[in-house]
Amino acid sequence: MTNKLKSYKWFLDALSPHESHVHGIDSIVCEKQTRFQKVEILDTFSYGRCLVLDGKMQSSEVDEFVYHEALVHPAMLTHPDPKRVFIVGGGEGATLREVLRYPSVEMALMVDIDQEVVELSRQYLPTWSAGAFDDPRTALKYLDARRFLEETNETYDIIIIDISEPVEEGPAYLLYTKEFYALVMDRLSPDGLISLQAGTTSYNNLLNFGAVYQTLKQSFPIVSGYQAIIPSFGLPWGFAVASKRFDPRDVDPKEADRRIKERVPGELKYYDGGTHQSQFVLSKPVRREIEKQEQVIEDNQPLFTYN
C-alpha cells in the first residue's frame, strides 16, 4: 500500500523561511481582505474548519480547545477570585467562552480591532464562541486595545492577550512590546495576572518566544513560560503568564484539580491538574535558550515573525 499525496488544494502555513505545515483543503468557506488583515476560513481534511489570518493558522475545529483552554485557565485558576477580565483580540470568541465558564466573572470586556473577523467568526465558526457573545456579562468593543488601555483608568483581575503573531504591517506587533506590557501592568488589580500566546517553542525557532519572555521580565516580577501541543499549528506552541504576585507553578496538580472542580462547571476537555503541572516544565534546551536571549521588544525595535 502506498501513501501518495492526493491532488487537493493545499494551504501552506509557513512556519519559518525553511519550514511549512501543509493542509489539504476540502473547500474555501470564506476569503476576505479586511482593513487590517486577510481572513480565510477553510474546511480542511485533517483539522476540519480552520481560521487563517494573514496566512497563519489561528485555530481549528479539531484542536481549538487545546489552545484556548491552555491560554485561559492557568491565569484564571491561579488568581484567587477573578471578577473583571479584559480580553485583547480573541475574534473567534473561544477565549471569551472559556473565561465565562467561571461564575465568579462579573464582567468580560473583549476589545478586538477587526470587527469583520468577529462577524465572520460568528457566522462561520459559531461553535467557537458557543453563545459567549450573547452572555450578559460580555462587553464587546471594536477598538485599538492599546489605545483603549492608555485612555482608561479601569483595572482588571485578568488580562488575556489573544492576538496573532507580530507580522510586519499586521495589526498586532505593537501589542508585544515593553511599552505595552508596562501599560498592561498598570491596568492590573493588585492580584492581577496576564496570559498570552508567545510563539513556537520549537528548538530551532525560539526567537519570538525568548524575546517575549525577556520583554515580559522588564515589567513583571513573575513570568512563567509554558507550552502546549496543538497539532494543527505544526510545532509545539508557547504561552506565558506574568503577574504581580502569584506564580502558577506554585499550584500543584491536586490543588489545580480542586480549583477546577470548585470554580468551573462542566468538564474541561484538555486542562486538568496534571496538564497544569506538566506544561510549565520546559525542556532543558528551551530553558537555556530563552534565558540567554537578549532581545527586548520595544516600540521602536519591534520583532516580526516570518510571513
Encode pLDDT of 50-62 as tens digits: 999 999 999 999 9
Confidence of residue 171 (pLDDT cuts 50, 70, 90): low
The CA angle 139-162-222, to the nearest 5 degrees, is: 105
Residue 81 has which C-alpha cell? 477570585
Confidence of residue 184 (pLDDT cuts 50, 70, 90): very high
Residues noted as catalytic: 162
Upper half-sphere CA count for residue 307 (Cβ side, 13 Å): 16
Confidence of residue 6 (pLDDT cuts 50, 70, 90): low
The pTM of the full predicted model, rounded to 2 decimals, is 0.94
Report the distance separating Cα 67 and Cα 60, nearest Å. 10
Residue 307 has which C-alpha cell? 510571513
Encode pLDDT of 192-203 as tens digits: 999 999 999 998
Q: Are the C-beta atoms of residues 301 and 162 closer than 8 Å to each other?
A: no
Please tell us whether the domain made up of 9-59 is placed in CATH 3.30.413.10: no
Confidence of residue 7 (pLDDT cuts 50, 70, 90): low
What does the pLDDT read at residue 252? 97
Encode pLDDT of 227-275 as tens digits: 999 999 999 999 999 999 999 999 999 999 999 999 999 999 999 999 9
Q: What residue ranges do the domains of the chain occupy?
A: 9-59, 64-292
- Give me the torsion for CA of 134, 138, 139, 140, rounded to 10°: -60
What does the pLDDT read at residue 1? 44
Share of the chain above pLDDT 70, in %: 94
Q: Is residue 49's pLDDT more than 60?
A: yes
Q: Is residue 307's pLDDT more than 50?
A: no
Per the rule left: phi > 0, alpha: psi between -120 and 50, beta: everything else, 107 is beta
Give the burial string for 252-267 (b: 16+ CB within 10 Å, else e).
eeeebbebbeebbeee
Three-state DSSP string of 81-107: CCCEEEEEECCCCHHHHHHCCCCCCCE
Residues 6+ apart with CB under 8 A from 281: none
Give the amino acid at 43.
D
Please tell us whether the domain made up of 64-292 is placed in CATH 1.10.760.10: no
φ, ψ dihedrals at 186, nearest 5°: -70, -25
User: Would you call 127 helix, strand, or coil by DSSP?
Assistant: helix
Whole-number average pLDDT of the chain: 93
Report the distance separating Cα 159 and Cα 77, nearest Å. 13
Report the distance separating Cα 61 and Cα 279, nearest Å. 22
Task: Output 16 or 88, whichever has higher pLDDT.
Answer: 88
Q: Which of these, 61, 41, 186, lies nearest to 116 by C-alpha position? A: 41
Share of the chain above pLDDT 90, in %: 85
- Maximum CA extent, the chain: 65
